[in-house]
A and B are shown apart, each in its own frame.
Chain A
């Protein structure tokens, strides 16, 4: 059974810092990995999707990497802004629909 862990559970940084969010998983037989953002009281917004054959994806200030052999993914956020404050979730697709981590709650302080 796939298990997804996200560390840290919460993170607070000053505006402008670069930061890394971590996601680890136990079963490397995945099809893809997605990073989502969830704002309080809202649904999820897909940020990046990495296919299992890919190593990374970039979108603006976001860069996500995938290392299947070690069961890890990272989401790098450059030059963080207060508007980046949200909960970030990683989710993996394998032989079952998405399995989610519990998320990292990010606060960027102005």
Chain B
């Protein structure tokens, strides 16, 4: 596609429910990233995938958060038993390549999913 797409654009859920957020990266991009942007805070790295390598999950805030990337393309971020502090904008980005050590090409961001946990 022309850019990174994310769905849904907005999600309102009740505390304790599970949610799934979807990201479609730019075709051919091998690296995919998830970030979280909370109100008044900077962007917080969550997880990234590079090709077939094991994902870097070092940014996930708790074991309620998980992500997968099927077929090296689409990724789903799952939040189980949502809490009010999970409310944020979840941004996905992709880049063409990531060299060893985490160096990155320009990252292209999707519009984000705004999650509100009531």
Contacts and interface: CB of A to CB of B under 8 A. Distances in A.
A34 B4 CA distance: 18
A31 B104 contact: yes
Given A44-B93, A97-B56, A99-B45, 8 more contacts: A4-B42, A32-B104, A46-B107, A89-B42, A95-B102, A96-B58, A97-B45, A97-B48
B107 A102 contact: no
Contact of A43 (B56, B106, B110): B110
A44 B91 contact: yes
Interface residues of A, number: 24
A46 B106 CA distance: 7
B41 interface: yes
Interface of A: 4, 31-32, 34, 36, 42-46, 49, 89, 91, 93-103
B42 A100 contact: yes
Interface of B: 4, 33, 35, 41-43, 45, 48, 56, 58-59, 91, 93, 101-112
A106 B97 CA distance: 31
A65 B56 CA distance: 30
Given A94-B102, A95-B101, A102 B42 contact: yes
**Interface SS, A side:** strand
Contact of B42 (A42, A96, A97, A103): A103
13 contacts: A31-B101, A34-B107, A36-B109, A43-B4, A46-B107, A94-B102, A95-B102, A97-B33, A98-B33, A98-B104, A99-B45, A102-B41, A102-B42
Contacts of A43: 4, 91, 109-112
Query: Which of A31, A44, A89, A95 has the most C-beta atoms of chain B within 10 angstroms of its own C-beta?
Result: A44
Contacts of B59: 97
